[in-house]
Chains A and B, each alone.
Chain A
Amino acid sequence: MATNENPKGGGDPGPLLELRGITKRFPGVVALDDVSLSIHRGEIHMLLGENGAGKSSLIKVLYGAYRADAGEFRHQGKVIRIDSPADAKALGIAVIFQEFSLVPFLNIAQNIYLGREPRGRLPGLIDHARMHADARAVLQSLGLSYDTHALAGDLGVAQQQMVEIAKALSQNARILVMDEPTAAISDRESEALFTVIRQLREKGVAIVYISHRMKEVFELGDRITVLRDGRCVTSMEAAQATPEQMIRSMIGRQVNALFQRKGRFTPGDVALEVSGLHTSTGVSGVDLHVRAGEIVGLSGLVGAGRTEVARAVFGADPIASGKVTIFGHEVKGEPDSVVALGVGLIPENRKAEGLALGRSVQDNLLISSLWKLFPKGWYNAREAMRRVGALVEKLRISPPDPLRPARVLSGGNQQKIVIGKWLNAGCRLFIFDEPTRGIDVGAKMEVFSLIEGLAEQGAGILLISSELQEIVHACDRAYVMRGGRISGELAHDELSEQNILRLAI
């Protein structure tokens, strides 16, 4: 275990909080695998890792939102338990979450002091005056002069983030955990935040800081720990680390079986063309195209705007300006007209957006192509069974029982159903949004074989994935997004995890 050589620790060399061998499993996934971490007073500890490396799970375990399956916590050398957020609070742990934990119809002061409202003179009543004064003081320390009476729901994203930060600061935390606090705020606000963070370090607060931005990792960090696939792969003094080294640790050598393309297919006509796309959901000026028979990657970090591009192309979100052309037809309208052009969207959140979980495999497979089953105005059960049977066989859906509810199938088989419903509808352009999220390695291979098979038959594929190796191995070329824009395009011979990360961060 690393020892603290930071002189600011003030005569106490031992870690304030130590995590030893923390393991957290979910069905089919090991989110955290034997992770150990020491958190020291007066030290800014940077936590790095790709999407899905386990950073968020680690925070949730630290805050008692998840309970670890194995491992122990030591606070100042003593073994302790963190089973609930209340336990974490008692230890002086405060967390700034990425998903905002603000209540929209409470004002700024009420949000900052939620659960810690100052009591007034009369029993049971809240001292509003003191609460607002305290809130103003906390905001002032961040260089902000917000009206503490403003409702949280009326604030912009950046302001909400600053209120979140103020909320954590107001707890006088001894361990402050921040999950990408600068993701949504401006450079000026970030600078104010960094100043506060440094002041807190001087006061001896231990800070755990998650970031994707190399610049701030090295600007702020005293120690850097890299997580990969739920494991802690590197932990070193920031002064001895280089950005190149950190990127390499984040990627690492993958032991998983890799998907290998059978071949490359000659691209045909342009299937999808997006030019100058802007949306109210944050896409600003995206140009890209996909040809028939081509698998084109769309990479970037979570929140870079990839899903938003997909939704706009599919007609699910309105297009503010720019043009989306599919097979030569300009898209203006709702998903049904886009589907009629032969586009299938395999959404990121398949349980909520891709499947009717309670309905049978058969119903799900047929839902996008019902018109084919009503040739004479009534349901053609024989035709339905024929189609479903063919699909179940082709996709190797298991168990091969079309009458089971979709809910009981594994993630991989559910994904096959979502793909199958578009196959049935005769689509020629497919947009896959994180098609392998939460499914096991074997099923991933099958999903990729299916995708490749579609391309081989002349379909255009836009593949959105946070897993860099998927993009590198499955795609013919790729676009990388950052902050709602395309930050670069990589031709096939330029496709590498390093290149993607460089463009994404």
Chain B
Amino acid sequence: MNTTTLTVYRRSRPLPSVVAICVAMIVGAALLVKGFLSGGNLVNIGLQASILMMLAMPMTLVIMSEGLDLSAGALLSLCSVILAQALLSGLSIPLALCLSLLTGLIFGLANGVLVANLGLPPFVVTLGTFGVAQGAALVLTDGNAVAGFGPELARLYGASLLGIPVPVVLALLVWLATHVLLYHTRFGTYVFAIGGNRDALTLAGIRSRFYHVGIYVFAGLVVGFAALLLTGRMNSAHPTGAIGMEFDAIAAVVLGGTSFEKGDGWLLGTVMGVLTISILRNALNLLGVESSLQMVSIGLLVLAVILIDSWNKARKESST
């Protein structure tokens, strides 16, 4: 075995098909879809990908811990609504963001405690908090959009840093933070262990539940932060504005080769999954395909990739 500097990326399996699919998607869209390569469209893809990226980063950690977070989309809607109402009541952006982060923290803590401390199945727990968050967003707004809080947030969303749109910069920062967290801290090491061998962690004298809750808290906080982008993009907040976004996030993670078992995760794969889905949606948009059919194609893509990867794995195992 050779020793590379990128050891943290080392995986025991052949690269998942997401690498090939991501490249094929870019080349295919560039060749077949008119206007795909225009500067404006590329910025557009970046902007669309940035919110998905923010949801998919912590979702990778959640799935690695043999968990699932169905509440992410609804929580994003709720945080966005709270952020917008705070701005409407005259609070500054940082203070409004704090409220949004606090909301994310509370839901993350609830998910984490129910899953890690009470041992309830993540699917059921986050389905419950999904309902609570979605309902709360509707109650707070009477089902109407929240708008009219001035242009500052929209201006921030539209700004650029060194030619790169601010939302993309923020999404890259979230990626960087998650990367450091997963590969360079104890917390990240324990994420692998919680999914891979929880007993090993306990026997090493580590309070695995504490870190297990931490995964969901991290997820909640990042969703609270992502509300900034969602609200800025529309310069308003809709109680169902982020509905179904957890679907794209989970799809991106699964596309990226992270498994629901044994703590097998790959952050870079998730990034490629996010790109693949964003490009697919964008290309289908340009081709005039309606959004429900886009969802069908993402679902089919995920199924295809899972099939290919499991065939590869079976072939590898039978050959050894």
Query: Which residues from B are CB-within-8-Å of A154?
Result: 12
Q: How large is the interface on A (under 10, 10 to 19, 20 to 34, 35 or more residues)?
A: 20 to 34
A241 within 8 A of B: no
Closest B residue to A125 by beta carbon equals B184
For the complex, what is the distance from the CA of A164 to the CA of B189, rounded to whole Å? Answer: 18
Cβ contacts B196-222/A at 8 Å (1 or 0 each): 110111111110000000000000000
**Contacts A84-B205, A114-B193 hold; do A103 and B184 have CB atoms under 8 A apart?**
no
- Assess whether A106 is in contact with B12, with CB atoms less than 8 Å apart: no
- Assess whether A101 is in contact with B205, with CB atoms less than 8 Å apart: no
- Assess whether B10 is in contact with A151, with CB atoms less than 8 Å apart: yes
- Assess whether B204 is in contact with A85, with CB atoms less than 8 Å apart: yes
Determine which residue in A86, A107, A115, A151 has the highest number of CB atoms from chain B within 10 A of its CB, and name it.
A115
For the complex, what is the distance from the CA of A248 to the CA of B105, rounded to whole Å? Answer: 63
Cβ contacts B1-22/A at 8 Å (1 or 0 each): 1010001101110000000000
For the complex, what is the distance from the CA of A255 to the CA of B199, rounded to whole Å? Answer: 37
For the complex, what is the distance from the CA of A102 to the CA of B196, rounded to whole Å? Answer: 8
A63 within 8 A of B: yes
- Assess whether A117 is in contact with B186, with CB atoms less than 8 Å apart: yes
Which of B126-134, B261-269, B287-295 contacts its partner?
Answer: B261-269
**Shortest Cβ gap from B13 to chain A (Å):** 9
The residue that A85 contacts in the complex, of B12, B196, B205, with Cβ under 8 A, is B205
- Assess whether A105 is in contact with B265, with CB atoms less than 8 Å apart: yes
Query: Which residues from B are CB-within-8-Å of A107?
Result: 7, 10
Interface residues of A in 107-123 (CB under 8 A from B): 107, 110-111, 114-117, 120
**Contacts A86-B205, A89-B205, A126-B185 hold; do A102 and B200 have CB atoms under 8 A apart?**
yes
- Assess whether B265 is in contact with A115, with CB atoms less than 8 Å apart: no
Determine which residue in B11, B203, B264 has the highest number of CB atoms from chain A within 10 A of its CB, and name it.
B203
Closest A residue to B206 by beta carbon equals A115
B43 within 8 A of A: no
Query: Which residues from A are CB-within-8-Å of B180?
Result: 125
A124 within 8 A of B: yes
- Assess whether B203 is in contact with A97, with CB atoms less than 8 Å apart: yes
Query: Which residues from B are CB-within-8-Å of A151?
Result: 10-12
The residue that B263 contacts in the complex, of A105, A114, A150, with Cβ under 8 A, is A105
Query: Which residues from A are CB-within-8-Å of B186?
Result: 117, 124, 126
- Assess whether B203 is in contact with A124, with CB atoms less than 8 Å apart: no
**Shortest Cβ gap from A480 to chain B (Å):** 31
For the complex, what is the distance from the CA of A63 to the CA of B199, rounded to whole Å? Answer: 13
A147 within 8 A of B: yes
Closest A residue to B186 by beta carbon equals A117
For the complex, what is the distance from the CA of A154 to the CA of B10, rounded to whole Å? Answer: 11
Query: Which residues from B are CB-within-8-Å of A149?
Result: 1, 3, 7, 10
B192 within 8 A of A: yes
**Contacts A101-B199, A149-B1, A153-B12 hold; do A106 and B189 have CB atoms under 8 A apart?**
yes
Query: Which residues from B are CB-within-8-Å of A65?
Result: 203
**Shortest Cβ gap from A226 to chain B (Å):** 27
**Contacts A125-B180, A149-B1 hold; do A103 and B205 have CB atoms under 8 A apart?**
no
Query: Which residues from B are CB-within-8-Å of A106?
Result: 189, 192-193, 196, 263
**Shortest Cβ gap from A433 to chain B (Å):** 25
**Contacts A85-B204, A147-B1, A149-B10 hold; do A105 and B189 have CB atoms under 8 A apart?**
no
The residue that B196 contacts in the complex, of A63, A89, A95, A105, with Cβ under 8 A, is A105
Interface residues of A in 169-193 (CB under 8 A from B): none
Cβ contacts B252-295/A at 8 Å (1 or 0 each): 00000000001111000000000000000000000000000000
A128 within 8 A of B: yes
For the complex, what is the distance from the CA of A124 to the CA of B263, rounded to whole Å? Answer: 22
- Assess whether A104 is in contact with B204, with CB atoms less than 8 Å apart: no
Closest B residue to A95 by beta carbon equals B203
Cβ contacts A379-414/B at 8 Å (1 or 0 each): 000000000000000000000000000000000000
**Shortest Cβ gap from A122 to chain B (Å):** 9
- Assess whether B200 is in contact with A103, with CB atoms less than 8 Å apart: yes
For the complex, what is the distance from the CA of A97 to the CA of B202, rounded to whole Å? Answer: 13
Can you offer 23 A-B residue contacts whose CB atoms are under 8 A?
A: A85-B205, A95-B203, A101-B197, A101-B199, A102-B197, A103-B263, A104-B12, A104-B197, A105-B195, A105-B262, A107-B7, A110-B192, A114-B189, A114-B200, A120-B184, A125-B180, A126-B189, A128-B184, A147-B3, A150-B1, A151-B10, A153-B12, A154-B12
Beyond contacts A103-B193, A128-B184: 13 other A-B pairs, Cβ-Cβ < 8 A, are: A101-B203, A103-B196, A105-B263, A105-B265, A106-B196, A107-B10, A116-B204, A124-B186, A126-B186, A147-B3, A151-B11, A153-B196, A154-B12
Closest A-B pairs by Cβ, 7 of them: A115-B204, A101-B200, A103-B196, A86-B205, A154-B12, A149-B7, A103-B193
